Amino acid sequence: MTSLKQGLDRRAIIWIINWTFSGAVGCTAVAVLITYHYIAPFGAEVMATSMRLALFIPLLLAIPLFAFIGIKLQQLACANDLLTLASRYDGLTGCLNRAAFTSDVTAFVAEQDLKPFPTTSALMVLDADHFKRINDRHGHLAGDDALVAIATAVRLAVGDGGLIGRLGGEEFGVFIHHAHPATVGAMAERIRLAVAEHGQAIAPDADPVTVSIGVALFTYPVQYEDIFKIADDQLYLAKNTGRNRVCLIEFSRLPGGIRAMATQLRAGLADALTDSFANHADEPSRVAGR
């Protein structure tokens, strides 16, 4: 009973109570109707006894039966929720796993590609510096502590403004839905500084944990694979230029991004209209000829 109370929340208990009450009342009502239909010809005395039985027997049987079924249904729902969470989230850090992160970002990118004026977004790829050294010198439990510390710092910096995923090993991904060069750069710096300042030594004579971050700021339309490669290239640039740093690049298929795209579209439309009027300037007006 203790495990049951721990596994079911208040909403589940209320649902079980409603389910049990509704089921018991429904069974009792059916029993009463059937009893009245078949016993009525046998007289009032037989009817009274039969109706009492029709009331009490279904209640005695239905209440524990529906309560048991309701509890099992709620436990099954909880198990399904746990399976869903396990299929989407990394068990150590609580971040999205690689498959869920990629799926969610790809879905958002596809949605933005359909909009006439989509938002500007950013993708960060960050990697713990010299992580193998931590595992080799201090053990994998110390490495796990370092990963949890990094995930915590990223989560505090990003808040509700983006998605966070553990891409594998000591590598994390951060997708910012609505981004600006200044704010994204500042966010990446906050993550780097938070890890460097609060990623204290995990064991005696161990170095503080640091991260290198590659950032791709981009406009739509894009492909997720292309943006990830650009951010990953920036990560390797940060690694090769000293680690514990941020490298950011702005990427667009058109110079100037969305504004340039809109400007070119307007210019192209104006040119098309000008050419159309020029080609028909010498033709007689059909309206005037009527």
Residues annotated as catalytic are 170
Sign of the alpha-carbon dihedral angle for 277, 280, 283, 286: negative
Residue that the structure tokens 């170095």 belong to = 207
Separation of alpha carbons 285 and 138, rounded Å: 87
Q: Among candidates 243, 194, 186, which has minimal Cα distance to 217?
A: 186
Q: Among candidates 106, 235, 77, 117, which has minimal Cα distance to 175?
A: 106
Helix (H) or strand (E) holding 245: none
Residue that the structure tokens 């502590």 belong to = 145
The answer to whether the peptide bond before residue 41 is cis (omega within 30 degrees of 0) is no
Separation of alpha carbons 53 and 162, rounded Å: 62
Q: How many CB atoms lie within 10 A of CB 205?
A: 7
Cβ–Cβ < 8 Å for 127, 171: yes
Using the 8-state DSSP alphabet, how is residue 8 labeled?
Answer: -
